[in-house]
Amino acid sequence: MTRIWFVAASLLLLALAGCGGGGGPSTSTTNVLTGSIEGRLVTESSTTSKSRQANIRFRARVHGLETQNTFALQIRANGYFRIDNVPAGEQVISVEDETSQQGAVFVCLVRPNQVTNVGEIELSDLASISGTVTDTSNNPIARVRIVARPINNETDTLEQLPARPFFTALTDKSGNYKLLVPAGTYLVEARHPDYEPASQTVTVEESSSVTLDFQLTPRPRETGTVVGTVMAELNGLLIPVPGALVLLKPQNELIVPLAATEQTTVGQLISSQMNPSQQGIVPPGRPIRYRLFTFTKADGSFELTGVPAGTYTAIAHKPGYGKDTKTVTVAANGTVRVDFVLRANLGIIQGQVTDASTGQPIEKAIVFAVRWGDIWFGWEEWEGGNGNQWVRPMSGGHKNGHRPPVIRPVEPPVRAGTLTDANGNYSIVLPAGDYFVVAAKEGYLAVGQQVSVSNGQTVTVNFALQPAGATE
Protein backbone atom coordinates (compact mmCIF):
# COMPACT_ATOMS: atom_id res chain seq x y z
CA MET A 1 0.00 0.00 0.00
CA THR A 2 1.34 3.41 -0.97
CA ARG A 3 0.61 6.08 1.59
CA ILE A 4 -0.05 9.60 0.42
CA TRP A 5 1.64 12.13 2.68
CA PHE A 6 0.85 15.36 0.90
CA VAL A 7 -2.46 16.73 2.10
CA ALA A 8 -4.00 19.69 0.27
CA ALA A 9 -6.18 21.73 2.57
CA SER A 10 -8.93 21.86 -0.03
CA LEU A 11 -9.19 18.06 -0.05
CA LEU A 12 -9.69 17.68 3.70
CA LEU A 13 -13.13 17.30 5.18
CA LEU A 14 -14.32 17.24 8.73
CA ALA A 15 -17.88 17.16 9.97
CA LEU A 16 -17.97 18.11 13.63
CA ALA A 17 -21.41 17.73 15.15
CA GLY A 18 -21.44 18.86 18.77
CA CYS A 19 -22.54 16.14 21.12
CA GLY A 20 -22.54 18.36 24.17
CA GLY A 21 -20.95 17.69 27.51
CA GLY A 22 -24.08 16.80 29.44
CA GLY A 23 -23.99 20.16 31.18
CA GLY A 24 -21.40 20.87 33.82
CA PRO A 25 -19.08 23.65 34.87
CA SER A 26 -19.02 26.14 32.05
CA THR A 27 -15.80 26.58 30.13
CA SER A 28 -16.22 29.48 27.77
CA THR A 29 -13.70 29.85 24.99
CA THR A 30 -15.41 32.90 23.49
CA ASN A 31 -12.37 35.12 23.97
CA VAL A 32 -9.75 32.44 23.38
CA LEU A 33 -7.85 32.25 20.11
CA THR A 34 -8.37 29.04 18.17
CA GLY A 35 -6.65 27.02 15.47
CA SER A 36 -7.14 23.87 13.40
CA ILE A 37 -5.62 20.39 13.37
CA GLU A 38 -5.17 18.18 10.30
CA GLY A 39 -3.95 14.62 10.04
CA ARG A 40 -4.68 11.15 8.75
CA LEU A 41 -6.27 8.37 10.76
CA VAL A 42 -4.94 4.96 9.70
CA THR A 43 -7.45 2.12 10.06
CA GLU A 44 -7.91 -1.22 8.34
CA SER A 45 -10.29 0.45 5.91
CA SER A 46 -8.44 3.73 5.40
CA THR A 47 -7.90 3.05 1.71
CA THR A 48 -11.22 1.43 0.90
CA SER A 49 -14.42 2.94 -0.40
CA LYS A 50 -16.10 1.90 2.85
CA SER A 51 -13.84 3.98 5.07
CA ARG A 52 -16.36 6.75 5.58
CA GLN A 53 -18.90 4.34 7.04
CA ALA A 54 -16.21 2.54 9.03
CA ASN A 55 -14.79 5.71 10.56
CA ILE A 56 -18.02 7.53 11.32
CA ARG A 57 -18.00 5.91 14.77
CA PHE A 58 -14.86 7.77 15.86
CA ARG A 59 -15.06 10.87 17.99
CA ALA A 60 -12.49 13.55 18.63
CA ARG A 61 -12.19 14.71 22.23
CA VAL A 62 -10.42 17.88 23.36
CA HIS A 63 -9.73 17.13 27.02
CA GLY A 64 -10.57 19.93 29.41
CA LEU A 65 -12.92 21.58 26.92
CA GLU A 66 -16.08 20.99 28.89
CA THR A 67 -18.93 22.77 27.12
CA GLN A 68 -18.47 20.61 24.01
CA ASN A 69 -15.44 18.38 24.28
CA THR A 70 -16.56 15.48 22.06
CA PHE A 71 -17.40 15.67 18.37
CA ALA A 72 -18.65 13.19 15.79
CA LEU A 73 -15.79 12.68 13.38
CA GLN A 74 -16.33 11.92 9.69
CA ILE A 75 -13.23 11.00 7.73
CA ARG A 76 -12.58 11.02 4.00
CA ALA A 77 -11.78 7.88 2.01
CA ASN A 78 -8.05 8.07 2.68
CA GLY A 79 -8.49 8.77 6.39
CA TYR A 80 -7.80 12.52 6.26
CA PHE A 81 -9.44 14.60 8.96
CA ARG A 82 -9.50 18.16 10.21
CA ILE A 83 -10.61 19.63 13.54
CA ASP A 84 -11.52 23.31 13.60
CA ASN A 85 -12.05 25.79 16.45
CA VAL A 86 -9.66 24.08 18.85
CA PRO A 87 -8.48 26.45 21.61
CA ALA A 88 -4.89 27.57 21.06
CA GLY A 89 -2.28 26.12 23.37
CA GLU A 90 -0.85 22.73 24.28
CA GLN A 91 -4.02 20.63 24.01
CA VAL A 92 -4.56 16.94 24.82
CA ILE A 93 -6.68 15.35 22.09
CA SER A 94 -7.90 11.82 21.62
CA VAL A 95 -9.62 10.09 18.70
CA GLU A 96 -11.61 7.20 20.10
CA ASP A 97 -14.29 4.61 19.45
CA GLU A 98 -16.21 3.47 22.53
CA THR A 99 -17.57 0.35 20.82
CA SER A 100 -14.20 -1.22 19.98
CA GLN A 101 -12.39 0.66 22.80
CA GLN A 102 -9.73 1.69 20.31
CA GLY A 103 -8.20 5.06 19.73
CA ALA A 104 -5.15 7.28 19.84
CA VAL A 105 -3.93 10.21 21.91
CA PHE A 106 -1.74 13.15 20.99
CA VAL A 107 -0.68 16.42 22.58
CA CYS A 108 -0.68 19.26 20.07
CA LEU A 109 0.49 22.86 20.43
CA VAL A 110 -2.38 24.49 18.54
CA ARG A 111 -1.26 27.74 16.90
CA PRO A 112 -3.69 30.65 16.83
CA ASN A 113 -5.41 31.11 13.46
CA GLN A 114 -3.17 28.47 11.87
CA VAL A 115 -3.34 24.80 10.88
CA THR A 116 -1.19 22.23 12.67
CA ASN A 117 -0.57 18.92 10.88
CA VAL A 118 -0.05 15.93 13.18
CA GLY A 119 0.77 13.37 10.46
CA GLU A 120 -0.52 9.81 10.43
CA ILE A 121 -2.13 8.30 13.50
CA GLU A 122 -2.46 4.56 14.06
CA LEU A 123 -4.95 3.09 16.51
CA SER A 124 -4.33 0.92 19.57
CA ASP A 125 -6.43 -0.69 22.28
CA LEU A 126 -7.36 1.64 25.12
CA ALA A 127 -8.58 0.99 28.66
CA SER A 128 -11.87 2.13 30.15
CA ILE A 129 -12.33 3.84 33.52
CA SER A 130 -15.96 4.41 34.47
CA GLY A 131 -18.08 4.86 37.53
CA THR A 132 -20.64 6.85 39.46
CA VAL A 133 -20.24 9.89 41.70
CA THR A 134 -22.64 10.31 44.64
CA ASP A 135 -22.98 12.44 47.75
CA THR A 136 -22.94 11.13 51.33
CA SER A 137 -26.65 10.22 50.98
CA ASN A 138 -25.88 8.17 47.85
CA ASN A 139 -27.61 10.65 45.57
CA PRO A 140 -25.97 11.00 42.14
CA ILE A 141 -24.09 14.22 41.43
CA ALA A 142 -24.20 15.63 37.92
CA ARG A 143 -21.56 17.87 36.33
CA VAL A 144 -18.65 16.47 38.35
CA ARG A 145 -15.33 16.98 36.58
CA ILE A 146 -13.36 13.72 36.39
CA VAL A 147 -9.68 14.11 35.56
CA ALA A 148 -7.17 11.26 35.13
CA ARG A 149 -3.44 11.94 35.09
CA PRO A 150 -0.77 9.25 34.53
CA ILE A 151 1.66 8.68 37.38
CA ASN A 152 4.73 6.51 37.99
CA ASN A 153 3.67 5.72 41.55
CA GLU A 154 2.27 7.41 44.66
CA THR A 155 5.55 9.22 45.39
CA ASP A 156 4.98 11.51 42.38
CA THR A 157 4.46 15.13 43.45
CA LEU A 158 2.00 17.82 42.40
CA GLU A 159 4.88 19.72 40.80
CA GLN A 160 5.46 16.86 38.36
CA LEU A 161 1.87 16.51 37.12
CA PRO A 162 1.51 19.61 34.86
CA ALA A 163 4.02 18.18 32.36
CA ARG A 164 1.83 15.14 31.73
CA PRO A 165 -1.24 14.54 29.55
CA PHE A 166 -4.63 14.52 31.23
CA PHE A 167 -8.02 13.03 30.37
CA THR A 168 -11.36 14.55 31.37
CA ALA A 169 -15.05 13.72 31.48
CA LEU A 170 -18.17 15.14 33.11
CA THR A 171 -20.74 13.06 34.97
CA ASP A 172 -24.24 12.94 33.50
CA LYS A 173 -27.50 13.52 35.42
CA SER A 174 -27.20 10.00 36.87
CA GLY A 175 -23.68 10.73 38.14
CA ASN A 176 -22.07 8.40 35.61
CA TYR A 177 -18.86 9.00 33.67
CA LYS A 178 -16.55 7.11 31.32
CA LEU A 179 -12.99 7.69 30.18
CA LEU A 180 -10.88 5.89 27.56
CA VAL A 181 -7.18 6.09 28.40
CA PRO A 182 -3.92 4.35 27.43
CA ALA A 183 -2.75 1.52 29.66
CA GLY A 184 -0.98 2.74 32.80
CA THR A 185 -1.40 3.93 36.39
CA TYR A 186 -3.48 7.05 36.99
CA LEU A 187 -4.41 9.55 39.66
CA VAL A 188 -8.13 10.06 39.11
CA GLU A 189 -9.72 13.11 40.71
CA ALA A 190 -13.39 14.09 41.09
CA ARG A 191 -14.15 17.82 41.50
CA HIS A 192 -17.36 19.81 41.84
CA PRO A 193 -17.66 23.41 43.06
CA ASP A 194 -20.06 22.42 45.88
CA TYR A 195 -18.05 19.47 47.21
CA GLU A 196 -14.64 18.58 48.57
CA PRO A 197 -12.48 16.93 45.87
CA ALA A 198 -11.63 13.25 46.13
CA SER A 199 -8.85 11.20 44.54
CA GLN A 200 -8.03 7.57 43.86
CA THR A 201 -5.28 5.74 42.00
CA VAL A 202 -5.94 2.96 39.54
CA THR A 203 -3.90 0.78 37.17
CA VAL A 204 -5.46 -0.32 33.87
CA GLU A 205 -4.34 -2.64 31.09
CA GLU A 206 -5.08 -2.51 27.37
CA SER A 207 -8.70 -3.46 26.55
CA SER A 208 -9.58 -3.68 30.25
CA SER A 209 -12.53 -1.98 31.96
CA VAL A 210 -12.28 -0.75 35.55
CA THR A 211 -15.01 0.69 37.76
CA LEU A 212 -14.04 3.62 39.97
CA ASP A 213 -16.79 5.22 42.06
CA PHE A 214 -16.53 8.38 44.17
CA GLN A 215 -18.49 9.70 47.13
CA LEU A 216 -18.11 13.43 47.70
CA THR A 217 -18.57 15.44 50.90
CA PRO A 218 -20.09 18.94 50.82
CA ARG A 219 -17.46 21.64 51.05
CA PRO A 220 -17.30 23.70 54.27
CA ARG A 221 -19.44 26.80 54.52
CA GLU A 222 -18.00 30.25 55.11
CA THR A 223 -15.27 29.64 52.54
CA GLY A 224 -14.36 31.57 49.42
CA THR A 225 -13.67 30.93 45.75
CA VAL A 226 -10.71 31.85 43.54
CA VAL A 227 -11.22 31.96 39.77
CA GLY A 228 -9.05 33.12 36.88
CA THR A 229 -6.97 32.12 33.90
CA VAL A 230 -3.43 31.05 33.13
CA MET A 231 -2.20 32.37 29.80
CA ALA A 232 1.21 32.52 28.14
CA GLU A 233 2.91 34.89 25.73
CA LEU A 234 3.86 33.21 22.45
CA ASN A 235 4.99 35.26 19.45
CA GLY A 236 3.24 38.34 20.77
CA LEU A 237 -0.08 36.55 21.40
CA LEU A 238 -1.67 35.29 24.61
CA ILE A 239 -2.60 31.61 24.46
CA PRO A 240 -4.17 29.35 27.13
CA VAL A 241 -1.98 27.06 29.22
CA PRO A 242 -4.04 23.87 29.78
CA GLY A 243 -3.06 21.57 32.64
CA ALA A 244 -1.09 24.21 34.57
CA LEU A 245 -0.91 23.80 38.34
CA VAL A 246 -2.58 26.60 40.32
CA LEU A 247 -1.80 26.44 44.03
CA LEU A 248 -2.53 28.68 47.02
CA LYS A 249 0.04 28.94 49.82
CA PRO A 250 -1.37 30.46 53.02
CA GLN A 251 0.71 33.35 54.29
CA ASN A 252 -0.42 32.53 57.84
CA GLU A 253 -0.15 28.79 58.41
CA LEU A 254 -1.63 29.13 61.89
CA ILE A 255 -4.96 30.12 60.33
CA VAL A 256 -4.79 27.66 57.41
CA PRO A 257 -2.53 24.80 58.53
CA LEU A 258 -1.38 21.76 56.59
CA ALA A 259 -2.16 22.98 53.09
CA ALA A 260 -0.85 21.11 50.04
CA THR A 261 2.42 22.30 48.50
CA GLU A 262 4.22 21.62 45.22
CA GLN A 263 6.00 18.73 46.96
CA THR A 264 2.82 17.06 48.19
CA THR A 265 2.76 13.49 46.91
CA VAL A 266 -0.04 11.51 45.34
CA GLY A 267 0.10 9.17 48.33
CA GLN A 268 -0.48 12.07 50.73
CA LEU A 269 -3.53 13.17 48.76
CA ILE A 270 -5.00 9.67 48.87
CA SER A 271 -4.36 9.20 52.59
CA SER A 272 -5.69 12.60 53.66
CA GLN A 273 -9.00 12.74 51.80
CA MET A 274 -12.12 12.61 53.90
CA ASN A 275 -13.60 9.45 52.36
CA PRO A 276 -10.70 7.34 51.11
CA SER A 277 -11.58 4.12 49.34
CA GLN A 278 -7.97 3.32 48.42
CA GLN A 279 -6.35 0.66 50.56
CA GLY A 280 -2.70 -0.28 50.89
CA ILE A 281 0.57 1.23 52.05
CA VAL A 282 0.69 5.00 51.60
CA PRO A 283 4.10 6.71 51.44
CA PRO A 284 4.89 8.67 54.61
CA GLY A 285 4.82 12.46 54.48
CA ARG A 286 3.36 15.62 55.86
CA PRO A 287 -0.39 15.22 56.46
CA ILE A 288 -2.61 17.32 54.20
CA ARG A 289 -5.72 19.07 55.48
CA TYR A 290 -6.43 21.60 52.73
CA ARG A 291 -6.25 20.74 49.02
CA LEU A 292 -5.87 24.32 47.83
CA PHE A 293 -4.81 23.51 44.29
CA THR A 294 -6.32 22.78 40.92
CA PHE A 295 -5.30 22.47 37.26
CA THR A 296 -6.38 24.66 34.35
CA LYS A 297 -8.86 23.58 31.69
CA ALA A 298 -8.42 23.64 27.92
CA ASP A 299 -9.13 27.37 27.73
CA GLY A 300 -6.69 28.15 30.56
CA SER A 301 -9.45 28.86 33.10
CA PHE A 302 -9.64 27.51 36.64
CA GLU A 303 -11.96 27.57 39.66
CA LEU A 304 -10.91 26.71 43.20
CA THR A 305 -13.69 26.53 45.80
CA GLY A 306 -13.66 25.80 49.54
CA VAL A 307 -10.83 28.26 50.25
CA PRO A 308 -10.68 29.42 53.91
CA ALA A 309 -10.67 33.20 54.39
CA GLY A 310 -7.15 34.59 54.43
CA THR A 311 -4.26 35.91 52.40
CA TYR A 312 -2.38 33.60 50.06
CA THR A 313 0.50 33.47 47.65
CA ALA A 314 -1.06 32.14 44.46
CA ILE A 315 1.26 30.21 42.14
CA ALA A 316 0.75 29.11 38.52
CA HIS A 317 3.30 26.76 36.96
CA LYS A 318 3.89 24.49 33.98
CA PRO A 319 7.23 23.23 32.58
CA GLY A 320 8.20 25.14 29.47
CA TYR A 321 6.11 28.13 30.53
CA GLY A 322 7.73 29.15 33.80
CA LYS A 323 6.00 30.33 36.96
CA ASP A 324 3.98 33.36 38.03
CA THR A 325 2.99 34.39 41.56
CA LYS A 326 0.34 36.74 42.90
CA THR A 327 -0.91 37.79 46.31
CA VAL A 328 -4.62 37.18 46.80
CA THR A 329 -6.94 37.82 49.73
CA VAL A 330 -10.00 35.57 50.01
CA ALA A 331 -13.10 36.51 51.99
CA ALA A 332 -15.67 34.08 53.36
CA ASN A 333 -18.46 33.52 50.82
CA GLY A 334 -16.64 35.79 48.38
CA THR A 335 -15.13 35.25 44.96
CA VAL A 336 -11.83 36.77 43.91
CA ARG A 337 -10.27 36.70 40.46
CA VAL A 338 -6.57 36.27 39.74
CA ASP A 339 -5.09 35.97 36.25
CA PHE A 340 -1.61 34.72 35.51
CA VAL A 341 0.58 35.40 32.48
CA LEU A 342 3.47 32.99 31.87
CA ARG A 343 6.06 33.13 29.11
CA ALA A 344 6.38 30.21 26.71
CA ASN A 345 10.00 29.09 26.52
CA LEU A 346 9.64 26.03 24.32
CA GLY A 347 11.99 24.49 21.79
CA ILE A 348 12.06 25.27 18.07
CA ILE A 349 12.92 22.91 15.20
CA GLN A 350 13.43 24.79 11.96
CA GLY A 351 15.04 24.29 8.58
CA GLN A 352 14.55 24.01 4.83
CA VAL A 353 13.21 21.29 2.52
CA THR A 354 14.79 21.06 -0.93
CA ASP A 355 14.76 18.82 -4.02
CA ALA A 356 17.79 16.51 -3.78
CA SER A 357 18.20 16.52 -7.57
CA THR A 358 17.95 20.23 -8.27
CA GLY A 359 18.64 21.85 -4.92
CA GLN A 360 15.53 23.99 -5.35
CA PRO A 361 13.26 24.67 -2.37
CA ILE A 362 10.06 22.64 -2.10
CA GLU A 363 6.97 24.65 -1.25
CA LYS A 364 4.05 23.16 0.71
CA ALA A 365 5.93 20.09 1.84
CA ILE A 366 4.58 18.68 5.10
CA VAL A 367 7.02 18.73 8.01
CA PHE A 368 5.79 17.25 11.25
CA ALA A 369 7.28 15.91 14.47
CA VAL A 370 6.15 13.00 16.64
CA ARG A 371 7.55 12.05 20.02
CA TRP A 372 10.29 9.42 19.68
CA GLY A 373 8.60 6.15 20.66
CA ASP A 374 5.02 7.37 20.09
CA ILE A 375 2.89 4.21 20.16
CA TRP A 376 0.43 5.65 17.61
CA PHE A 377 2.99 6.09 14.83
CA GLY A 378 3.80 3.49 12.13
CA TRP A 379 7.48 2.90 12.90
CA GLU A 380 7.60 -0.49 11.16
CA GLU A 381 7.32 1.13 7.74
CA TRP A 382 10.53 3.13 8.09
CA GLU A 383 14.06 2.02 7.18
CA GLY A 384 17.08 3.29 9.06
CA GLY A 385 19.52 5.10 6.82
CA ASN A 386 22.73 7.04 7.34
CA GLY A 387 23.22 8.13 10.94
CA ASN A 388 19.88 9.11 12.46
CA GLN A 389 18.11 9.68 9.11
CA TRP A 390 15.32 7.30 8.08
CA VAL A 391 13.49 6.73 4.78
CA ARG A 392 10.09 5.26 4.03
CA PRO A 393 9.95 3.43 0.68
CA MET A 394 7.13 4.22 -1.74
CA SER A 395 6.20 0.55 -2.15
CA GLY A 396 3.77 -0.78 0.43
CA GLY A 397 3.86 -3.78 2.70
CA HIS A 398 7.21 -2.91 4.25
CA LYS A 399 7.17 -4.11 7.85
CA ASN A 400 10.86 -4.59 8.60
CA GLY A 401 11.48 -1.26 10.21
CA HIS A 402 12.65 -0.75 13.76
CA ARG A 403 10.23 0.36 16.49
CA PRO A 404 11.98 2.39 19.19
CA PRO A 405 11.16 1.80 22.86
CA VAL A 406 7.67 3.17 23.49
CA ILE A 407 7.22 6.25 25.61
CA ARG A 408 5.77 5.82 29.09
CA PRO A 409 2.21 7.01 29.79
CA VAL A 410 3.60 9.91 31.86
CA GLU A 411 5.37 11.30 28.79
CA PRO A 412 3.12 13.42 26.57
CA PRO A 413 2.82 12.07 22.98
CA VAL A 414 3.48 15.49 21.45
CA ARG A 415 2.87 16.11 17.75
CA ALA A 416 3.25 19.27 15.69
CA GLY A 417 3.63 20.11 12.03
CA THR A 418 3.34 22.69 9.31
CA LEU A 419 3.78 23.31 5.57
CA THR A 420 6.92 24.82 4.09
CA ASP A 421 6.71 28.33 2.64
CA ALA A 422 7.71 29.45 -0.87
CA ASN A 423 11.40 29.21 0.09
CA GLY A 424 11.02 25.70 1.51
CA ASN A 425 11.41 26.95 5.08
CA TYR A 426 9.54 25.65 8.11
CA SER A 427 9.47 26.23 11.86
CA ILE A 428 7.85 24.04 14.56
CA VAL A 429 7.46 24.98 18.24
CA LEU A 430 7.62 22.03 20.65
CA PRO A 431 8.09 21.23 24.33
CA ALA A 432 11.49 19.77 25.24
CA GLY A 433 11.96 16.13 24.21
CA ASP A 434 13.20 13.60 21.67
CA TYR A 435 11.33 13.66 18.36
CA PHE A 436 11.12 12.02 14.96
CA VAL A 437 10.78 14.80 12.37
CA VAL A 438 9.36 13.87 8.96
CA ALA A 439 9.46 15.82 5.69
CA ALA A 440 7.20 14.64 2.89
CA LYS A 441 5.71 15.77 -0.39
CA GLU A 442 3.72 13.91 -3.01
CA GLY A 443 6.11 12.59 -5.67
CA TYR A 444 9.08 12.35 -3.26
CA LEU A 445 10.38 9.76 -0.81
CA ALA A 446 9.47 10.72 2.76
CA VAL A 447 12.50 11.29 4.99
CA GLY A 448 12.63 11.30 8.79
CA GLN A 449 15.28 12.25 11.31
CA GLN A 450 15.65 11.82 15.06
CA VAL A 451 16.03 15.20 16.79
CA SER A 452 16.36 16.28 20.42
CA VAL A 453 15.39 19.77 21.54
CA SER A 454 15.41 21.54 24.90
CA ASN A 455 13.18 24.35 26.10
CA GLY A 456 14.60 27.63 24.83
CA GLN A 457 16.75 25.86 22.21
CA THR A 458 16.54 26.23 18.42
CA VAL A 459 17.65 23.24 16.33
CA THR A 460 18.12 23.41 12.55
CA VAL A 461 17.23 20.32 10.53
CA ASN A 462 17.31 20.48 6.72
CA PHE A 463 15.85 17.86 4.40
CA ALA A 464 16.74 17.01 0.78
CA LEU A 465 13.95 14.90 -0.69
CA GLN A 466 14.66 12.42 -3.45
CA PRO A 467 12.10 12.42 -6.30
CA ALA A 468 10.29 9.09 -6.31
CA GLY A 469 11.06 8.44 -9.98
CA ALA A 470 14.80 8.80 -9.38
CA THR A 471 14.88 5.62 -7.28
CA GLU A 472 12.47 3.41 -9.19
Q: For 59-91, what is each residue's pLDDT tens digit?
A: 899 999 877 667 666 677 788 888 888 999 999
Please return the burial class of 323, using the count of CB atoms within 10 Å of its CB with bins 0-12, 13-18 and 19+. Answer: middle
Whether residue 57 lies inside any domain: the answer is yes
**Given this model, what pLDDT does residue 163 score?**
95
Whether residue 194 lies inside any domain: the answer is yes
Whether residue 278 lies inside any domain: the answer is no
One domain for residues 134 and 210: yes
Whether residue 104 lies inside any domain: the answer is yes
Asked whether the predicted pLDDT for residue 52 surpasses 70, the reply is no
Domain end: 93, 123, 153, which one?
123
**Given this model, what pLDDT does residue 384 score?**
75
One domain for residues 379 and 425: yes
Whether residue 287 lies inside any domain: the answer is no
Mean pLDDT lowest among 15-19, 114-118, 194-198, 370-374: 15-19
One domain for residues 119 and 132: no
Expressed as residue numbers, the domain containing 327 is: 224-256+292-343
Nearest Cα neighbor of 126 from 58, 204, 59, 33 is 204
One domain for residues 385 and 442: yes
Query: By the 8 A CB rule, do 46 and 378 touch?
Result: no
One domain for residues 56 and 134: no
Please return the burial class of 162, using the count of CB atoms within 10 Å of its CB with bins 0-12, 13-18 and 19+. Answer: buried
How many CA atoms lie less than 13 Å away from 59 in the CB half-sphere? 19
**Given this model, what pLDDT does residue 156 score?**
97
State the average pLDDT over residues 88-115. 94
Residues 319-369: tens digit of each pLDDT? 999 999 999 999 999 999 999 999 999 999 999 999 999 999 999 999 999
> pLDDT band at residue 7, thresholds of 50, 70 and 90?
very low
Which phi-psi region, left, alpha or beta, contains residue 290 (left: φ > 0; alpha: ψ -120 to 50)?
beta
For the chain, what is the domain count? 4
**Given this model, what pLDDT does residue 57 score?**
76
Query: By the 8 A CB rule, do 149 and 164 touch?
Result: yes
Mean pLDDT lowest among 79-83, 85-89, 113-117, 459-463: 79-83
Query: By the 8 A CB rule, do 71 and 18 touch?
Result: yes
One domain for residues 26 and 139: no
Residues 407-441: tens digit of each pLDDT? 999 999 999 999 999 999 999 999 999 999 999 99
One domain for residues 42 and 103: yes
Q: What percent of the chain is modeled with pLDDT above 70?
A: 83
Domain end: 327, 343, 359, which one?
343
One domain for residues 8 and 68: yes
Amino acid in position 205: E
Taking the C-alpha atoms of residue 386 and residue 449, their distance in angstroms, rounded to an integer, is 10
> pLDDT band at residue 401, thresholds of 50, 70 and 90?
low
Question: If DSSP codes are grouped into helix, strand and coil, which group holds residue 279?
Answer: coil
Asked whether the predicted pLDDT for residue 398 surpasses 70, the reply is no
**Given this model, what pLDDT does residue 142 score?**
97
**Given this model, what pLDDT does residue 54 score?**
45
One domain for residues 5 and 96: yes
Residues 207-254: tens digit of each pLDDT? 999 999 999 999 988 999 999 999 999 888 999 999 999 999 999 988
Whether residue 19 lies inside any domain: the answer is yes
CATH of the domain at 67: 2.60.40.10
**Given this model, what pLDDT does residue 282 score?**
45
**Given this model, what pLDDT does residue 262 score?**
95
One domain for residues 324 and 403: no
**Given this model, what pLDDT does residue 116 score?**
94
Strands 176-181 and 127-134: antiparallel
SS (H, E, C) 341-375: EEECCCEEEEEEEEECCCCCECCCCEEEEEECCCC
Is the pTM higher than 0.85? The answer reads yes
Residue 181 phi, psi (nearest 5): -140, 160
Whether residue 270 lies inside any domain: the answer is no
State the average pLDDT over residues 391-410. 72
One domain for residues 375 and 410: yes
> pLDDT band at residue 395, thresholds of 50, 70 and 90?
low
**Given this model, what pLDDT does residue 254 score?**
81
One domain for residues 309 and 361: no
Whether residue 410 lies inside any domain: the answer is yes
CATH of the domain at 143: 2.60.40.1120
Nearest Cα neighbor of 462 from 384, 325, 362, 341 is 362
> pLDDT band at residue 400, thresholds of 50, 70 and 90?
low
**Given this model, what pLDDT does residue 281 score?**
44
